[in-house]
Amino acid sequence: MNVLTDNLSLFREGFIGTVELTVVSGVIAMVLGVIIAAFRVSPVPPLRVFGTLWVNILRNTPLTLLFLVAFFILPKILFPDMDSFVLGVTALGFYTSSFVAEALRSGINTVPMGQAEAARAIGMSFTQVMRVVVLPQATRAVVAPMGSIFIALTKNSAIAGSFDNVDLFNVAKTLSNDGYDIAMIFLWITVAYLIITYAINGAFRLLEHRMEVAR
């Protein structure tokens, strides 16, 4: 118990850091995921090609490799002054966006084609069809998969702790180096991750329930 009580402020800082990494990279993943999913079903061939390449490349690239690119190549090419948090959420957000896009695309495929065709027939643009007709229905179908994606994102955020980000994994390394019992460290780190993931799971279950009632 001493490992927690003696380092409560450090645990709190790591917990908040993990939540911040998850939330910010999750927002990036959602925004990019919606755009890429729209590209994947776009009637414009170059956009479909771009969306396909985005998903296939990012989904099949190890996340650790993306972090290496973000931290050691990206600053040299584009943004030399970016801090570790921005680089970390960029790597996490881009990687997760490919999974979000595929989940949304599967949801889009559940929407009857006739609805989109009817919307186009009354003069709606592709963007309007996606925003008003398709995406609201597709979202209902992918709430549960999205919950799993964001839980995975929370666990993947631990990699950011190896790249100068303050999170729960970074706290574990610090306490281990200070000589605390590794078993107790991992026990409390596990409890902290469970709190976050159970909160995400509960939020998506509530969202799924409300959207089912709305349907």
Per-residue DSSP letters for 135-180?
HHHHHHHTHHHHHHHHHHHHHHGGGGGGTT--SHHHHHHHHHHTT-
Look at residue 25 in the predicted model and tell me its pLDDT: 96
CB 169 within 8 A of CB 11: no
Alpha-helical runs (H) found in 41-125: 45-59, 63-72, 74-77, 84-108, 113-121
**d(C-alpha 16, C-alpha 10), whole Å:** 10
Residues 85-102: what's their mean pLDDT? 94
Give the residue from 178, 169, 187, 166 showing the smallest Cα distance to 4.
187
96 has pLDDT over 80: yes
**d(C-alpha 125, C-alpha 121), whole Å:** 10
Of the two residues 64 and 123, the one the predictor is more confident about is 64
Would residue 79 be called left, alpha or beta, if left means φ above 0 and alpha means ψ between -120 and 50 degrees?
Answer: beta
Residues 36-45: what's their mean pLDDT? 89
Global model pTM greater than 0.85: yes
Look at residue 150 in the predicted model and tell me its pLDDT: 95
Residue 57 CB neighbours (<10 A): 11
Give the residue from 131, 140, 143 showing the smallest Cα distance to 110.
140
Residues 121-136: what's their mean pLDDT? 80
**d(C-alpha 6, C-alpha 196), whole Å:** 22
Three-state DSSP class for residue 126: helix
Look at residue 201 in the predicted model and tell me its pLDDT: 93
Residue 112 CB neighbours (<10 A): 9
